[in-house]
Amino acid sequence: MRVDGVLLGHQARRVALASLAAVSLGVAVAAPARAQQGPAQAPAQAQVLPDFTELVDRVGPAVVNIRTLERARAGNGRGTPEMDESLEEFFRRFGIPMPGRPDPRRGPPGNGGSGDEPQQRGVGSGFILSADGYVMTNAHVVEGADEVIVTLTDKRELKARIVGADTRTDVAVVKIDATGLPFVRIGDVGRLRVGEWVVAIGSPFGLDNTVTAGIVSAKQRDTGDYLPFIQTDVAINPGNSGGPLLNMRGEVVGINSQIYSRSGGFMGISFAIPIDEAMRVADQLRTNGRVVRGRIGVQIAPVTKEVAESIGLGKPVGALVQNVEAGSPADKAGIEAGDIITKVDGRTVERSGELPRVIGNTKPGTRTTLQVFRRGGYRDLAVTVAEIEPEKPRRAAQAESAPRATSATPIGLSVSDLSDAQRRDLKVRGGVRVENADGAAARAGLREGDVILAMDNVEITSARQFSALVDKADRSKPISVLVRRGEQSNFLIIRPGASAR
């Protein structure tokens, strides 16, 4: 064999071929050891791909298939979902019942004319938490099911009862009547690192105990109100939902829950619920059958860099309060729309999505100190956390004929004073109503009917005062205004010197 013009002997040829193969795979290969070194001194720098076989052998028996059944109901309007022909062929080849369609292996539905024979509704995954039969899965896997069937790796099929399900976090716990079951070990999410190998075991498309692997792509992905997700590139497909995400020690670090997809299939981005968050929910479900969360009664939004700079906050941290529910703990504590909640009991709120999680995990009845940024300064407010409840329908403020406009400003705004009745309806102390917006104000997003509550951290009390503030403002700098629209408040940035594009 000739490599780079050098003729190699038989032994050297084998080393060269191994080296070339390793280079093509991106694997480092050490030079051949000297004869006197002996076989005990293997090259430490040699790298191999991970072997998942022992992990799967150990954990696989604790992963289950979950099949949900639904009784056919007359007039429910449920039709057969459309499915790609190639996907239908896939199901037919493997003898898997297609989602939303009766399983031909179980005979025709409605046998005997009863019309209430259970039909397969969906397929998911789960994993056994304890030897006595508690199983964790996703809430959306069991939602709306009339029956839940858990299939173990030894092919036993057991009916399960739903202990509890929490749709806010998409976590559910079901119970099967069995003992001596294999169960998983729970891992430490805090030790999980981006780039680390992880493994998923589940039932994609009903194919039991399918193993896929990849790496952790990111942590703390804010895609939900109450959960920061683990992002991976592990192949996850319909049916994987509720299955475990495992580290290389065989410990569960997450529940596979969501994928990002434009086609409905895997596209390289998957999301898992961190197991520490899921276990907190599961413990409450097992104890109480439901999850108790704290609430303070505010609607929030992110703080942008632009807003933070314009109001003197410096950097974009915290949660902007858009609305305060009347009579809520936040209202009683004196929190106002336009406040930015920056700390809870001394802990900084880096992103707005952290606030619902921190408050939600606080036991109702707890007295908590919130630090808020308001009109250029910080203040501490004590709030007693209440228990979360279903959202109440919002009552729209009654329409009222607006008073005559009393002031026009050079930034494109015509404003008027609010009547006492309007202040009562809006539950505000001051503010002015926008009668017309054009120019810089219109470009900033202001429109007729908006109520301006503050400008550059100064509370607005009247149209005359607002006009005076605008006259004194530096037109070369952005002007921040706190605007109430409907039931929400937000900051808008007016740039007097900017021209329309």
Mean pLDDT by 10 residues, the chain (501 residues): 41 44 41 46 61 94 92 52 48 48 46 54 90 95 91 94 91 95 95 95 90 93 75 91 95 89 72 93 91 91 90 92 92 93 94 89 93 94 86 36 51 85 83 86 87 90 86 85 88 76 45
**Residue 423 to residues 135, 405, 453: CA-CA distances in angstroms?**
53, 16, 11
pLDDT of residue 430: 86
Give the residue numbers annotated as catalytic, written as ranges.
140, 170, 241
Q: Which amino acid is at 376?
A: G
Phi-psi region of 313 (alpha: psi -120 to 50; beta: other; left: phi over 0): alpha
Instruction: Report the C-alpha gap between 450 and 298 in whole angstroms.
Output: 20
Nearest of 496, 403, 394, 388 to residue 451 by alpha carbon: 403
Instruction: Report the C-alpha gap between 499 and 492 in whole angstroms.
Output: 17
C-alpha neighbours within 13 Å on the C-beta side of residue 280: 14
Give the pTM: 0.62
The total of other beta-carbon atoms located within 10 Å of residue 460's CB is 22
Q: What are the residue ranges of helices labelled H in 205-362?
A: 275-288, 305-311, 329-333, 354-360
Asked if 276 and 253 touch (Cβ cutoff 8 Å), the reply is: no
Tokens of 203: 């039932």
**Residue 113 to residues 116, 117, 320: CA-CA distances in angstroms?**
8, 9, 59
pLDDT of residue 153: 93
**Residue 262 to residues 78, 106, 242, 399: CA-CA distances in angstroms?**
24, 34, 21, 43
Instruction: Report the C-alpha gap between 460 and 446 in whole angstroms.
Output: 16
C-alpha neighbours within 13 Å on the C-beta side of residue 7: 0
pLDDT of residue 424: 83
Instruction: Report the C-alpha gap between 302 and 308 in whole angstroms.
Output: 10
Asked if 170 and 282 touch (Cβ cutoff 8 Å), the reply is: no
pLDDT of residue 412: 79
Q: What share of the chain is helix, strand, coil (3-state, %, to 5)?
A: 20, 35, 45
The total of other beta-carbon atoms located within 10 Å of residue 284's CB is 18
Instruction: Report the C-alpha gap between 265 and 257 in whole angstroms.
Output: 14
